[in-house]
Amino acid sequence: PAALVAQGQEGLSAPTGKWTRVVNWDFTTPVDGTLDVTISYVYDDSHILVWVTDRVCNKWQFERDECSYLVKSLEGGRPRKLTATGVKAGGYSLFVANDGPNDEQIGYQVMLTPSSSGSGRLSVGPPAFFSRP
C-alpha cells in the first residue's frame, strides 16, 4: 500500500517583474518504489511548474541546473499529478514555481508505493530563471 512521505501547504505569491517565484521541500523515501506527487492550487489560470529532483537539491543548485529530475510538469490542469517509477530509497526535493498571474496557495502531497526495484531516472533540461526569496 502507498504511504505518505510528505505533505503540506504554503503561500506562493505571483512573480514581480520577469522572475518566477519558487518554493521547495525536501523529503526522504525509506524504501525503493513509485512516487505519486499531487500539487493543488486555487486558480485555473495560474501557471504552476513542478519538478522532483533526483537527490536533495537546494534553490541555488536548482537555479544553476546542477540537479537532474525524476519527473517534471510545466503545464496542465489542477490538481497536478506526477508519477516517478523505480525510485531508490533516499533524499529528494520537490520544487514548485508560480509563473503567475495569481498569488497562490500551494498544497503538496508525496506518496510512496514500495517496490522491489529502484532503477529509472528522467533527466531534463534547465529550469527557468527564479527569484530568491
Q: What confidence tens digit (pLDDT) does each residue in 48-74 have?
A: 999 999 999 998 998 888 999 999 999
Which run of H or of E encompasses 10?
strand 3-12
How far is 41 from 128, CA to CA, in rounded Å?
A: 20
Question: Is residue 59 classed as helix, strand or coil in its secondary structure?
Answer: helix
Q: What confidence tens digit (pLDDT) does each residue in 94-103 have?
A: 999 999 999 9
Q: For the chain, what percent of residues have pLDDT higher than 90?
A: 73
Q: What are phi and psi for residue 32, nearest 5 degrees?
A: -65, 155
Residue with cell 522491489: 116
Dihedral angle at the C-alpha atoms of 6, 36, 104, 24, nearest 10 degrees? 50
Other beta carbons within 10 Å of 83: 14
Taking the alpha carbons at both ends of the chain, their separation in whole angstroms is 37
Rounded (to 5) percent helix, strand, coil in the chain: 5, 50, 45
pTM, entire model: 0.83
Residue with cell 543548485: 61
